[in-house]
Amino acid sequence: MNVDPVLRALIRNPSAPEELLRRIVERADPSVSRHIGFHRDLPLSLIDTMAHHPAPEVRRAVLGVRNAPPETVAMLARDPDAKVRMEVLGRAYEYLPIPEAAWRALAEDPRRVVRQEIVDLEDVPTAVKLLLADDPEFGDLVVLRHGAAADADAVYERILTAGDPASIMVAAKATGRTPPPQVIPRLVADPATRVDAARFDEAHAVRLAHDPDERVRRQLAADRQLPAAAAEILVADADKAVRETLANNPAAPVAVLRQLADEDDRWMRLRVFSNESTPEELLATIDLPVAGNDHVRPVEWLRRRCADIELQARYARSPYVIFRRTAAYCPHLPADVVAELAEDDDFAVRLLLAEHHPDAPGELLVQVVQVWDGYTTPAMVRRPQFPADALDRFTRSELEHHRWLATYSDRLTEEQQARLRADPVPAIRERFDPDFPPAAELRAMLDDPDPEVRCRAAGHRNLPVPLMWEIFESAVPTG
Domain boundaries, the chain: 5-145, 148-194, 291-386
Helix (H) or strand (E) holding 21: helix 18-27
pLDDT band at 34 (very low <50, low <70, confident <90, very high): confident
- DSSP, res 35: G
CA diameter of the chain = 85
The stretch 103-117 carries a mean pLDDT of: 95
| pLDDT of res. 31 | 87
Q: Which of 167, 204, 172, 170 is closest to 185 using CA atoms? A: 204
Residue 241 has pLDDT above 90, yes or no: yes
Q: Which of 161, 190, 156 is closest to 174 using CA atoms? A: 156
3-state helix, strand, coil in the chain (%, to 5): 60, 0, 40
What's this model's pTM, rounded to 2 decimal places? Answer: 0.70
The CA-to-CA distance between both ends of the chain, in Å, stands at 17
Question: 214 or 294: whose pLDDT is higher?
Answer: 214
| pLDDT of res. 371 | 93
| pLDDT of res. 293 | 58
Cα 218 vs. chain centroid, distance in angstroms? 27
DSSP 182-200: TTHHHHHHSTTTTTGGGGG
Averaged pLDDT of the chain: 92
The domain 291-386 is placed in CATH, from the list 1.25.40, 1.10.10, 2.40.128, 3.40.50, at: 1.25.40
Residues 50/61, Cβ–Cβ less than 8 Å: yes
399-427 per-residue burial string, b: 16 or more CB within 10 A, e: under 16:
eeebbbbbbbbeebeeebbebbbebeeee
Q: What is the phi-psi region of residue 108: left when phi exceeds 0, alpha when psi lies from -120 to 50, beta otherwise?
A: alpha
Q: Please, where are the H alpha helices in 294-346?
A: 300-304, 309-316, 321-328, 335-342
The stretch 184-197 carries a mean pLDDT of: 96
